Chain A
Amino acid sequence: MAEPILRLSGLTKHFGGFTAVKQIDLDIEEGEFFTIVGPSGSGKSTLVRMLAGLEEPSGGEILLRGERINETPANRRPTCMVFQSLALFPHRTVGQNIEFPLKMRGVARKARRARAMGLLRLLQLPESYYGKSVTQCSGGERQRIALARALAFDPEILFFDEPLSAIDYKLRKTLEKELKDIHKETGKTFMYITHSLEEAMVMSDRIGVMRDGKLVQIGTPEEIYTRPRDKFVSEFMGEVNLLKVKRNGAGLHCPSLDATFTGPASKGFDSGYLVIRPEYLRFLKPGESAENQVEGVLYNEYALGSRIQYQVRVGEQVFLVEKLREQRYHGRLDDRVTIGWEARDSMLAPE
């Protein structure tokens, strides 16, 4: 593998007595779309601010193409960030915003304008926006302008600090895909910060899940989705069924249901959680069976657009079952139902 464009080793940041980022080791490959996911307060923003040069590390090293840049100030790093608030200059037009990094570098006006026009086209904004005030642009347009401005800088790495968090759902979905397309188009290294694993899944080549200042799992979206390292990661993925279990011979004993299940093969697992995604659970008709099955009451159902989600209660334990709308389960609420799943469709997560 080639030398990573960015290498973090033991990167740490203290604020007074509080440690926001703890001993992060990470390699980012050239041209990669890497996303850091974590809940608020996990230190992901602090991490990216250190990488951009807006915060000085307390310990460890940041190496850009093998060169230590810990003390290099933000304006001398070949990296650029798209801020959460976007930080568009309100007193400037769209064109002036995009040209800002070029103007700072002393690029001639004509060349600046040509570059800005090219970026407007790339971001699918009309060229007439060049002279428009940024305060008159819509949320989605402002996102694109901020991205165009960052691209005008021509950075080696582009950082994104949750720029889509304030955008409504539908537009966000569009912009996520657009961003991935821009990544492909430009071939640059992107490093994205978000609290939404769903958002990370759509765009990323690799994802790092962050918690309490540490990276708890790094992997492709596929790996994170199918093999979450622990309960935290698997819950972060969205709604899952978690059963607290203990190894008992060949099976897994679940005290809350007083039942023993068969799980996937795993060495060294002693106690933790059995994770079953709602879409892997199915309703069993009389006469049908599955490797694992429980009986409960169909408590409620929720329409989630293309899918229907069912809540099944087995004693105190709540199970979520999801079916495509075409394969919906026809049953009356409060009826007794049997649900089941295959061992290979479940995962084990340590505490």
Chain B
Amino acid sequence: MGGPGKSRGPGRMGGWIGAWTLLVIVFLYLPVACGVLASLSQSRYFGFPITQWSTRWWQRTVDSIEIGILIQTSVLIALMVTAVSVVLAFMGALAFARYDWRGRKIFQRIVLLPIFFPQAVLGLALLLWFNTLGLPLSWKTAVFAHLVWIVPIATLIISIQVYSFDAALEEAALDLGATRWQVLREVTLPVLGPGIFSGALFAFLLSWGNFPLSLYTTGADSTVPEYLYAKMVAGYTPGVPTLGALTTGGAAVILVVGYVSWIFMRRAQGR
């Protein structure tokens, strides 16, 4: 009974929004938390509740030479993919969103096609192709495979920034006496910077976490997701969630470090 108070309406609404937000966060992070908990189990097998706690598997994982090599391979692939895809995607994005040329419409469609291709099929197709060309499979072929899928995504991300870029900025810089090179350094790159940065971040993280393409194309080399999958299929130990938690934490650290260094770069720029 009693009319709804005017002040209570938004308050109750706020409560609901808060509860919903909390629920979403729990939903998103509970599995991660479970993974971390599972890694802290003493027992060899996966099961809740955990009867005996231990950091044994963390110790083992950190000490393991094998895992060190895995991480090295994954990081190496991800860095190569990032470097190459940023360069290609930057130029592609300018062609995609900036300049008008014959065939641009077709280019816009074709360049995005690999994203929609199922990765497992794409991996197989690439494997067949590498075999046909007689290329020995290794982390290098995996870099190429990742690029096929990641360059279009990075292009799309950078294009969004290019679309909001006023072409008159470059003309103005030129008109104010800047050389082509100065225009690129002083205007184009800094203004497109946020887009290039998020493109790079995405490229790194997508490569870092990629499983289906790596599975087919790394040959004798192995990446972290491949190792995790192999261990899950045969020979589970709490080392699996440990490595999972470790790589997730690593990715989070990369994000934060990337973001902070970006802020500092912006501050220092133009001084």
A305 to chain B, nearest CB (A): 35
Please indicate the chain B residues that have their CB under 8 angstroms from the CB of A101 in the complex. 176-177
A224 interfacial contact with B, CB 8 Å: no
Contact of B171 among A74, A91, A100, A105 (CB under 8 A): A74
Q: Contact check, B182 vs A104: say whether CB atoms are below 8 A apart.
A: yes
B235: Cβ under 8 A from any A Cβ? no
A75 to B172, CA, bound (A): 9
Task: Report whether over half of chain B's contact residues are helix, strand or loop; otherwise say mixed.
Answer: helix
With A96-B270, A104-B182: A87-B177 Cβ-Cβ less than 8 Å: no
A251 interface hit (Cβ, 8 Å): no
Stretch at the interface among A77-85, A211-219, A227-235, A316-324: A77-85
Interface string of B163-186 (1 = CB under 8 A from A): 000101101111111110010001
Q: Which residue of A lies closest to B166 (CB)?
A: A85
Q: Are the CB atoms of A52 and B175 closer together than 8 Å?
A: yes
Q: Is A246 an interface residue (CB 8 A)?
A: no
Given contacts A87-B166, A104-B182, contact A92 B270 (CB under 8 A): yes
Is A130 at the interface (CB under 8 A from chain B)? no
B124 close to chain A: CB less than 8 A? no
A153 with B190: CB separation less than 8 A:
no
- The answer for the CA separation of A53 and B186 in the assembled complex, in Å, is 20
User: Within 8 Å of chain A (Cβ to Cβ): is B187?
Assistant: yes
Known: A83-B168, A96-B270. A89 touches B187 (CB 8 A): yes
Given the known A-B contacts A90-B191, A92-B270, A96-B270, are A104 and B176 also in contact in the complex, defined by CB atoms under 8 Å?
A: yes
Residues of chain B within 8 A of A92, CB atoms compared: 270
Contact yes or no, A153 B191, CB < 8 A: no
Bound CA span A85–B165, Å: 12
Measured as residues with beta carbon below 8 angstroms from the partner, the interface class of chain B is 20 to 34
- List 8 A-B pairs, Cβ < 8 Å: A75-B174, A75-B177, A75-B178, A91-B270, A100-B173, A104-B176, A104-B179, A104-B186
Instruction: Tell me which of B171, B173, B176 has the highest count of chain A C-beta atoms within 10 A of its own C-beta.
Output: B176
Within 8 A of B (CB), among A59-87: 73-75, 79-81, 83-85, 87
Contact of B174 with A74 in the complex, beta carbons under 8 Å: yes
A316 to B131, CA, bound (A): 85
Determine the chain B residues whose CB is within 8 A of the CB of A74 once the complex forms. Answer: 171, 174-175
| Alpha-carbon separation in the docked complex, A52 to B166 (Å) | 18
For the complex, give the distance between the alpha carbons of A80 and B171 in Å. Answer: 11
In the bound complex, what is the Cα–Cα distance between A348 and B238 (angstroms)? 97
Are A153 and B168 touching (Cβ within 8 A)?
Answer: no
Scan residues 98-129 of chain A and give those whose CB is less than 8 A from a CB of chain B: 100-101, 103-105
Give the Cβ gap from B95 to chain A, nearest Cβ, in Å: 21
Once bound together, how far apart are the Cα atoms of A183 and B83, in whole Å?
A: 50
Q: How far is the CA of A103 from the CA of B182 in the complex (A)?
A: 10
Interface size range on A against B:
20 to 34
Chain A residues within an 8 Å CB radius of B187: 89
Query: A85 CA to B178 CA in the complex, in Å?
Result: 19
Counting chain A CB atoms within 10 Å of each CB, the highest count among B178, B190, B191, B193 belongs to B178
CA distance A148 to B179 in the complex (A): 21
Q: A75-B174, A105-B177 are in contact. List 17 more A-B contacts (CB 8 A).
A: A53-B175, A54-B171, A74-B171, A74-B174, A74-B175, A75-B175, A79-B175, A89-B187, A89-B191, A90-B191, A96-B270, A104-B176, A104-B177, A104-B178, A104-B179, A150-B176, A153-B177
Residue of B nearest to A92 (CB): B270
- Chain B 251-271 near chain A by CB (<8 Å), digits 1 or 0: 000000000000000100110
Q: Give CA–CA (A233, B172) in the complex, Å.
A: 32
Q: Which residues of B contact A52 (CB under 8 A)?
A: 175
Q: Do B176 and A100 touch (CB < 8 A)? A: yes
When chains A and B are docked, how far (Å) is the Cα of A80 from the Cα of B177?
9
In the bound assembly, the distance between CA atoms of A211 and B172 in angstroms comes to 27
A22 at the interface (CB under 8 A from B): no
B179, A89: Cβ atoms closer than 8 Å: no
List, in ascending order, chain A residues with CB within 8 A of B270's CB: 91-93, 96
Are A85 and B168 neighbours in the complex by a CB distance under 8 Å?
yes
A244 at interface by CB-CB < 8 Å:
no
Residues in B whose Cβ lies below 8 Å from that of A100: 173, 176, 178, 186
Contact A54-B175, Cβ < 8 Å, known A87-B166, A104-B182: yes
Return the chain A residue nearest B190 by Cβ: A91
Give the 8 A-B residue pairs with the shortest CB-CB distance, closest first: A87-B172, A87-B168, A101-B176, A104-B177, A83-B168, A104-B178, A74-B175, A74-B174
